[in-house]
Structure 1
């Protein structure tokens, strides 16, 4: 288990990069997994990591498990790795590579169009 200071830093960093609320993330996971004919059950919508982020958002810091901490590190690292300071955030055509990048990040709870 991480020490208290390390956990404080991780908690703050995770909540900085995860800039979607739990309601927004739940809705996104549901929409992103839906197709023309079916819609997944809410508890099965989205990737396992997206579902875990949603669970973490609904927890208090004192209730985190080792798995939660591991996912928090994974999400912070993934969002930081995807950042591109040369790209100005814009709403774009759904077929573009930037839209795919945005959707990938939103599955982790990060909307790059938000400041």
Structure 2
């Protein structure tokens, strides 16, 4: 039998990896760079990461008491993506500021330069 999710731990993990504010997310998601990176499902015009970024900004604005199971599931997805993707970064530190790697992470709420 699976253990019940610990929403408090999921929230803490989410807060630990998402280092951008909702306002920073909104500003970033309005850029051309944010729209150019990430995987797009067939027939979709928005990447998975860009759509996730919009949801992350909403989650950052929400009261914890208003969050539901789907919100916590998305937070777990964000934590897993950021942890996995951070390990795949470019080795040339001079390329990081304008790298697709950084831009993709920023779509998921994490700026590796912060």
| TM-score under structure 2 length normalisation | 0.72
Change in Cα spacing, 1:58 to 1:86, as seen in structure 2 (3 Å) is closer
Q: Encode CA deviations 1:33-63: one digit per residue, 9 max, x unaligned.
A: 39xxxxxxxxx9x722111101100011111
Change in Cα spacing, 1:86 to 1:104, as seen in structure 2 (3 Å) is closer
Q: Aligned-residue CA RMSD in angstroms?
A: 2.9
Give 1:1-115 correspondences, 5 Å limit: 6-31=6-31, 32-33=34-35, 47-84=50-87, 90=93, 92=95, 94=98, 99-114=99-114
Q: Encode CA deviations 1:1-22: one digit per residue, 9 max, x unaligned.
A: x95x711111111011000011
Aligned-partner SS, 1:16 = helix
Change in Cα spacing, 1:7 to 1:107, as seen in structure 2 (3 Å) is same
| TM-score under structure 1 length normalisation | 0.72
Unaligned runs of 5+ in 1: 35-43
- Cα distance, 1:65 vs structure 2: 1.7
How many residues were matched structurally? 98
Aligned-partner SS, 1:103 = helix
